[in-house]
Amino acid sequence: MNKNPLKIAVLVSGNGSNLQVLIDKQLNKTLNIDIVGVISNKPCAYALTRAKTANIPTVIIDKDSNGKKHTRVGFETHALQILKQWQPDLVILAGFMKILTPLFIHGVTIDLNIAMINLHPSLLPMYKGLDTHRRILKSGENHHGCSVHLVTTELDSGQVIAQAVTPVMHSENRDALQQRIHKLEHQLLPMVVNLFAERILMFNQQQLTNKIGINLPLKLFFD
């Protein structure tokens, strides 16, 4: 018996290349998903164009009805209202560059009981926060990568589900390293989404369980 598509809502701020990967896999049916909507805190985010081209509903939460920039609470309250309407099975932060407060995180993961995952460009728990590629090159570390983890109220500290690992080439600059990590992200995120879509990973009351007993985090190694 075919499973119902996993309903996904995606929060974005920028280019949306990881969103595009999910859109492509939805269209070619290599992922059993239904992207029910995209929320952006940036009206100029190219991710919105990607979503509109695929006829996916989009919402921009930038300014209030008086034309003033939304407060953090205003943004999160509005976003929660939208998610309640869409009723996704999974919320994905894909290049979403806004720190979320417990109001939103608890609203999603406790009140709505929905898993929320983030794609972070480092091998967590190392290098939380911003500018990870520059920091890695400066550190002299031999390996870098990206992680998909559950979102909790502590920044970049939720349970890590999977990581993609690659050697650091110290002859390359920050931009070159960033591009290599982007390519890994495009493989890692769909793999994790598929675990939810196939109901291998399940989320309930802030707890992640899996029906086949796989050890987390999964690690993918690339040359």
Sheet hosting strand 143-150, strand order edge to edge: 58-60, 33-40, 6-12, 90-93, 115-120, 143-150, 160-167, 218-221
The answer, yes or no, to whether residue 213 has pLDDT greater than 90, is no
At 83, is the pLDDT very low, low, confident or very high (cuts 50, 70, 90)? very high
Token pair listed for 41: 């805190």
Digit-coded pLDDT (tens) for 38-77? 999 999 999 999 999 999 999 999 987 777 888 899 999 9
Average pLDDT over residues 136-145: 94
The answer, yes or no, to whether residue 14 has pLDDT greater than 70, is yes
Residues flagged as binding site for (6R)-10-formyltetrahydrofolate: 72, 97-100, 118
Catalytic member of 78, 120, 182, 186: 120
120 is catalytic: yes
Q: Given this model, what pLDDT does residue 1 score? A: 42
- What domains can be seen in the chain, in order of their start residue? 6-221 (3.40.50.170)
The answer, yes or no, to whether residue 31 has pLDDT greater than 90, is yes
CA dihedral (33, 130, 73, 149) in degrees, to 10, reads 40
Q: Given this model, what pLDDT does residue 223 score? A: 82
**Model-level pTM?**
0.95
The region of weakest confidence among 1-5, 7-11, 62-66, 85-89 is 1-5
Distance of CA 50 to the CA centre of its chain: 16
User: Is the preceding omega at residue 217 within 30 degrees of 0, hence cis?
Assistant: yes
Q: Given this model, what pLDDT does residue 3 score? A: 82
Residues flagged as binding site: 16-18, 72, 97-100, 118
CA angle 93, 95, 101 (to 5 degrees): 50
Give the closest residue to 92 by CA, choosing from 43, 145, 23, 46: 23
Residue type for 2, please? N
